[in-house]
Amino acid sequence: MTSPDGELLGAHVSTAGGVGNAPSRGDEIGATAIQIFTKTPNQWREPRLASEEIERFKLARRRSGVPAVVTHDSYLTNLASPDDKLRAKSVASFKAELHRCRSLGVEFVVTHPGNHMGDRDTGLERNAAAYVECLEAEEGPMVLLETTAGTGTALGSTFEELAEMRQLIPHSLRERVGFCADTCHLYSAGYDLVNNWDGVWQEWDDELGLSNLHCLHLNDSMYPFDSRRDRHELIGEGTLGPEPFEKVRQDDRFRDIIKVIETPKGDDPVATDRRMLGRLRGYK
């Protein structure tokens, strides 16, 4: 039951009970794309997926109407950390994520660039070097660097920084590095999607290339423009309002890009996600 126009639109869904349960949760909300965690994102524990669980996931995915799957990596990793121990732990964790993705046959891992904790330039270099180490060690998925809201010392809140990060990856591996744009984070980081839609995407294309954009996180924001805060709101009900989401749905440049919502799920996650996806589909 792929959508007639091949549109890849969905939500972050739970993997409670195992990753094999995720595709049917996508079906439940009428999604054609899902994002999942392959582990508990706020714990360091790195589970190995049992081969039965991997097969269960692949079968469920084939049977479902969800062709597009991306994973989101752990919240704890900091590949830019100046602390050697923490960085080594983060590298091990990210390698494990890439490994799980490859086993599952998932094509994309979305990741937040790290926190530099003091010096931006050296942090950026450490971050890029860590991606290189992980990509060299683990074949398989593409890594999508997500635009961040720029809280604290977070890297990746400007297009320049993201471009620099990718530039630091050697040519042979750079093909495996792309981007994920989060509408809430962009707005919080000072990219005005409400008043300057075309300008922002022109700047994106100049700095990062629209062809390197593989995933969009469609989230409204609880905080004002340029707030550097990261709190998602329901589509059309936050400071961005409906217009940017109407534009993203109407703009041909984004037609084939995987779109995932990470909006609050309320008391009834299935009903809320269905409602949000219905709202987005209405913006035609």
Q: By the criterion CB under 5 A, which residues form the site for Zn ion? A: 182, 217, 230
The residue among 27 and 230 lying less far from Zn ion, judged by its C-beta, is: 230
To Zn ion, the closest distance from the beta carbon of 13 in angstroms equals 14
Residue 46: CB minimum distance to Zn ion, A? 22
Kindly state the smallest distance separating residue 59's Cβ from Zn ion, in Å: 28
Question: 27 or 182, CB closer to Zn ion?
Answer: 182
CB 156 within 8 A of CB 177: no
Burial of 51 (0-12, 13-18, 19+ CB in 10 A): exposed
Coil, helix or strand for 82?
Answer: coil
Residue 261 C-beta: closest distance to Zn ion, Å:
9
Whether residue 235 contacts residue 280, with contact meaning beta carbons closer than 8 Å, is answered with: yes
Q: How far is CA 209 from CA 59, 204, 252, in A?
A: 35, 6, 15
Nearer of residues 20 and 156 to Zn ion, judged by Cβ: 156
Query: How would you classify the pairing of strands 142-146 and 9-12?
Result: unpaired
Q: What is the closest distance, in whole angstroms, from the C-beta atom of residue 189 to Zn ion in the complex?
A: 11
CB–CB of 191/200 below 8 Å? yes
Residue nearest to Zn ion (CB): 217
Closest C-alpha among 11, 95, 18, 66 to residue 275: 11
- The conformational region for residue 42 under phi > 0 = left, psi -120 to 50 = alpha, else beta, is alpha
Tokens of 208: 């990062």
Nearest-approach distance from CB 171 to Zn ion, in angstroms: 28
Q: Which is nearer to Zn ion, 223 or 283 (CB)?
A: 223
Closest CB to Zn ion among residues 97, 182 = 182
The smaller minimum CB distance to Zn ion, of residues 49 and 110, is found at 110
